[in-house]
């Protein structure tokens, strides 16, 4: 399936928001639940949920329910232009990376 310029522009426009780009950067590393994204980005749950909804509506993020938790992951396998661009995101700070690796929903 080929993507149109309009669809590509909308996807890049979504990633032009700093918070959404940070969410995508984190999800590029590992799937996450909202509670961890709230902690990592030091913002509110409604704020994170709103950004995730926009990313999900655009087909960039998918969710999976596991018990009481919903985990979010990137869904860009069919979007090589985004996959290529995301490889150039700056690496997360070491302390953030360590925190991500040890997070578990409880």
pLDDT digits (tens, 9 = 90+) for 8-60: 899 999 999 999 999 999 999 889 999 999 999 999 999 999 999 999 999 99
Q: What is the mean pLDDT of residues 56-85?
A: 91
3-state secondary structure the chain: CCCCHHHHHHHHHHCCCHHHHHHHHHHHHCCEEHHHHHHHHCCCHHHHHHHHHHHHHCCCEEEEEECCEEEEEECCCCCHHHHHHHCCCCCCCHHHHHHHHHCCCC
pLDDT band for position 65 (50/70/90)?
A: very high
> Long-range contacts for 6-10 (Cβ within 8 Å, ≥24 apart)?
8/81, 10/58
Domain 5-99 has CATH 3.40.50.1860: no
Q: Which residue has the tokens 């979007």?
A: 79
pLDDT band for position 93 (50/70/90)?
A: low
């Amino acid at each position: 399936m080929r993507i149109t310029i309009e669809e590509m522009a909308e996807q890049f426009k979504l990633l032009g928001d700093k918070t959404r780009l940070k969410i995508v950067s984190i999800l590029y590393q590992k799937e996450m639940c909202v509670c961890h994204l709230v902690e990592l980005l030091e913002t509110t749950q409604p704020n994170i949920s709103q950004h995730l909804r926009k990313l999900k509506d655009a087909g960039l993020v998918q969710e999976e329910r596991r018990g009481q938790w919903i985990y979010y992951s990137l869904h860009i396998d069919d979007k090589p232009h985004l996959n290529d661009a995301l490889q150039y995101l700056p690496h997360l700070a070491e302390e953030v990376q360590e925190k991500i690796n040890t997070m578990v929903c409880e």
